[in-house]
Amino acid sequence: MTAEIAGEAGAPRTPTPVSILGTGSYVPSRVITNDDVGSTAGVDDEWIVRKTGIHERRYGKDDEATSDLAAAAARAALENAGVSVADLSLIIVATSTPDSPQPPTATVVAELLQTPSTAAAFDLNSVCSGFVYALSAARSMIAGGGYALVIGADMYSRITDPTDPRTRVLWGDGAGAVVLGPATGRRAVTATRLLTYTEGHDLIKVPAGGTRMGTTAQTLAEGAHYFTMNGRGVKEAVYTTLPETLQTFLDDAGIDKAEVSHIVPHQANGVMLAELDQSLGFPRARMHTTVTRYGNTGSASIPITLDAAARQQALGPGEKVLLCAFGGGFNLGFALIEW
């Protein structure tokens, strides 16, 4: 969606173009194999690979929190962009696994980076679609100028049940970030769209720990503070909603599928991504994945994968890059970048 901003005389004008000036990512050093997660979840390596395509993932250290991962990715993105912390006017951290309910994890990241007090910092929770939602928000917020740091960071190792094979084997920890700023003639974010299908709002959830169901001895004993997912329902929701809404997004942006050179999707499940790659019907696009090495890193998965593609110089000047997110809510998010 492209917002219109009123000018001095009240007439709408197109927002100033915004570009991705730099990318960065961070994954913890602790490698977790399929044997590691399978030993508690009651499954083996063959089962995990067949169901998910994942071979390993990363877990944070005991003294690491989401803000630590986010700050590390942010530093890498700022260095890549050649932008100083002092120049930032906005920090958005997309996460569904914050350091704590309060304060916002973004303010902890701001402290770690030593950003100026003039830089606003806040969290955004749209689960696995969070990074694209944050990118869209930041694009609108700095359309008049300034620099924004957009971070996706999650640590699902802290909220998944070690005995649940449906969730434990999928998730890893990590963070990815981009720096947005005035358009440079390259890497312009040209279009975004955000959608929510509320009938799927309960497919993915953490039942306890909020105001609907607080944390008690009983909820802890029942494991209600763990992440739960209706995997079959999620897959059905993706296959039902994604093709049509994605086509509408491209049509509204005036883009044919043949013009898209790269797709960076949410790294939900390697097997599902392979199926989507075949079914979505992009004749030239390369789908980029990191899920086999890092698992599903939630809101971090798209910026981690985008950073990997950028640093491998896999994205050519002027090529169209499609970001495609889906996750809890049930939320979808799309973005087009003119690399």
Is 128 an active-site residue? yes
* Annotated catalytic residue, options 34, 269, 296, 331: 296
Answer yes or no: are the C-beta atoms of 141 and 90 closer than 8 Å. yes
Any catalytic annotation for residue 324?
Answer: no
Q: Where are the beta strands (DSSP E) in the chain?
A: 5-6, 12-13, 18-26, 30-33, 56-59, 88-94, 120-124, 147-155, 173-182, 188-196, 204-205, 228-229, 260-265, 286-287, 320-327, 331-338
* Angstrom distance (rounded) from CA 153 to CA 6: 34
Query: Among 266, 288, 324, 331, which one carries the catalytic annotation?
Result: 266
Q: Give which of 36, 21, 142, 56 is closest to 92, Cα–Cα.
A: 142
Question: Between the CA of residue 137 and those of 6, 125, 192, 334, what are the distances in Å?
Answer: 17, 12, 10, 12
| Residue 201 CB neighbours (<10 A) | 13
- Find the catalytic residue in 34, 80, 128, 269: 128
Q: Catalytic amino acids?
A: 128, 266, 296
